[in-house]
Structure 1
Amino acid sequence: MKKLLAARSYTTPTEVALLLVRVVGGLAMVLHGWPKIQDPMGWMGPDAFAPGFMLALAAVAEFGGGIAWIVGLLTPIATFGIACTMGVAVYMHAIMNGDPFVARGASYELAAVYLAVSLLILAMGPGRLSFDRAVFGER
């Protein structure tokens, strides 16, 4: 488990870029998840396509995962949760609802961007400038 959570080391510019992506993306996820965490099992309303416990998992993934990104703690686990949640969001908007990529109304642009950021962080890890490195060391 320690090896999974240990941070990789990169050049200083890459480390700073990873930190910036984590903090900005994490803040966006926290703000995106905040309304959901207020009513974790019912934020989609009575016509939700998923049961309440899955809505709660999505709310925790977005809100808690955003906090984890900001501080860089348990980053791979948090990122996996965010990636799964955003993958479902892209699928629901693009495939099930037929929404366009970009539109003034319903679209899947934002979910796709969050999914891409989560895949980047999942592939690269949190970097040296994270609590994961302080707690679990470097690979």
Structure 2
Amino acid sequence: MNTAWCGEVVRGKGAVALLALRLVAGPAFILHGWTKIQHAFTWLGPQVPSWLQALAAFAEFGGGIAILIGLLTRLAALGIACVMSYAIFLVHLPSGDPFVGQGGSWELAAIYLAIMIALMLRGAGSVSLDAVLCKSKRS
């Protein structure tokens, strides 16, 4: 069976660090996504295609769940990274928003993007469903 998507499973202190990132980012995106899926096709307004709004809302909500439990973590992180990149490069920067400031800043999107990049590169770690599934596929 093909296990290429599994990659190397991080263990030890690195796994604890990845778990900490997942325990913070996962619930945050579940909450962010939940508020957006309530109005999945309209939460960004008419200037953004409704299908793109729905895709982003479900990427945040579903991706948050996946990241929290460590299931398909790299794929979920990719989806959220795309949403955060959109927020930074197509919303905040063109609006002239500062990196840090009261409302309208893009620091949080950048922090979330950095977390998603780490999860895409290293995976969920040994304390995850990904690790359990990859171990059973390798056996």
The two structures share one fold, judged by TM-score above 0.5: yes
Equivalenced residues, count:
136
Which residue of structure 1 lines up, in the alignment, with residue 10 of structure 2?
Answer: 10
1:61-116 CA deviation, whole Å, 9 max, x = no partner?
A: 11110100000001111111000000000112443111101111211111111101
How many percent of aligned residue pairs carry the same amino acid?
A: 45
Superposition misfits of 4+ residues, deviation over 3 angstroms: none
Q: Match for residue 43 of structure 2?
A: 43
- Do the aligned residues in 1 keep the contact of 2:34 with 2:61 (CA within 8 Å)? yes
Distance 2:87 2:77 in 1: 15
Say which SS state the counterpart of residue 2 (structure 1) adopts.
coil
> Contact 1:127–1:133 (CA<8 Å) still a contact in 2?
yes
Q: CA RMSD in A?
A: 1.7
For the residues of structure 2 that align with 1:9 and 1:105, how far apart are their CA atoms? Answer: 38
Unmatched segments (≥5 aa) in structure 1: none
Q: Distance in 1 between matches of 2:113 and 2:22?
A: 13
Q: CA deviation at 1:38?
A: 0.9
Mapping for residues 55-74 of structure 1, pairs under 5 Å:
55-74=53-72
Contact 2:29/2:64 (<8 A) preserved: yes
Is the aligned partner of 1:31 residue 2:43?
A: no
Q: Gaps spanning 5+ residues in structure 2: where? A: none
